[in-house]
Amino acid sequence: MSTESNTDLLKTMTCRPMLERDLAEVVIIEKAATEFPWSLKNFQDCLKAGYQALVFSREIDEIIGFTILQKVVDELHLLNVCVRQELQGRGIGDFILSFIIDYAKDSSFSLIVLEVRVSNSRAQKLYSKVGFNEISLRKDYYPALIGYEDAILMGLDLLVLPFTDDMNNKL
């Protein structure tokens, strides 16, 4: 990987639909970045089902992250988001999450929901930072090394506007 700055990296990122030909690289990224990765078949099933599957790349078309989204009436379910392990901590996850939120707002979704492992405090902090709140706990949701691990169900209500000083001045 190059030593380009975080700003340069984010400026050169592009987004496009995930294609069948991307799946080998997506699976490699997923396996390197997570302890319990999705299988190739999981990704194939998502494409086949018509889920919104996106890859984020550099200008040279090297995939550096991806997301899988499912539309359910007026909700957007964030099923998977992943950044290439060696590029984590450089703002790419923030960038992808901001992209997802903007997409959801532009598409008139009212809510974004996701599950996150109880042990994944790094992801929880990222989601909380942009306004996701804990909705409930799903017991024994994820496979773990021994047994199962709980998931936190989080949601971002897109219909609630932040109360700012500008809004206060208009009252």
Tell me, what's the pLDDT at 121?
A: 93
Residue 72 covered by a domain: yes
Residue 53 covered by a domain: yes
Residue 107 covered by a domain: yes
Catalytic residue list contains 59:
no
Residue 99 covered by a domain: yes
Output the pTM of the full model: 0.86
Does 1 score more than 70 pLDDT? Answer: no
Residue 50 dihedral angles phi and psi, to the nearest 5°: 85, 20
Q: At what angle do helices 23-33 and 40-49 cross, to 10 degrees?
A: 130
In the structure, how many helices (H) and strands (E) does the chain have?
6, 7
Give residue 30's domain range: 6-170
From 103, 115, 141, 142, the catalytic residue: 115
Tell me, what's the pLDDT at 169?
A: 39
Comparing 157 with 58, the larger pLDDT belongs to: 157
Does 37 score more than 70 pLDDT? Answer: yes
Does 171 score more than 80 pLDDT? Answer: no
Tell me, what's the pLDDT at 170?
A: 38
Does 5 score more than 70 pLDDT? Answer: no
Question: What are the pLDDT digits (tens) for 86-117?
Answer: 999 999 999 999 999 999 999 999 999 999 99
Catalytic residue list contains 25:
no
Residue 163 covered by a domain: yes
Mean pLDDT of 114-143: 94
Residue 1 covered by a domain: no
Q: Which residue from 49, 154, 56, 51 is spatially nearest to 99, judged by alpha carbons?
A: 56
- Count structural domains, the chain: 1
Tell me, what's the pLDDT at 58?
A: 84
Question: The CATH number of the domain where 118 resides is what?
Answer: 3.40.630.30
Q: Residue type for 130, please?
A: V
CA 4 distance to own-chain centroid:
23
- From residue 38, give the alpha-carbon distance in Å to each of 12, 89, 103, 117: 27, 22, 24, 14
From 127, 134, 142, 149, the catalytic residue: 127
Comparing 61 with 150, the larger pLDDT belongs to: 150
Mean pLDDT of 131-144: 94
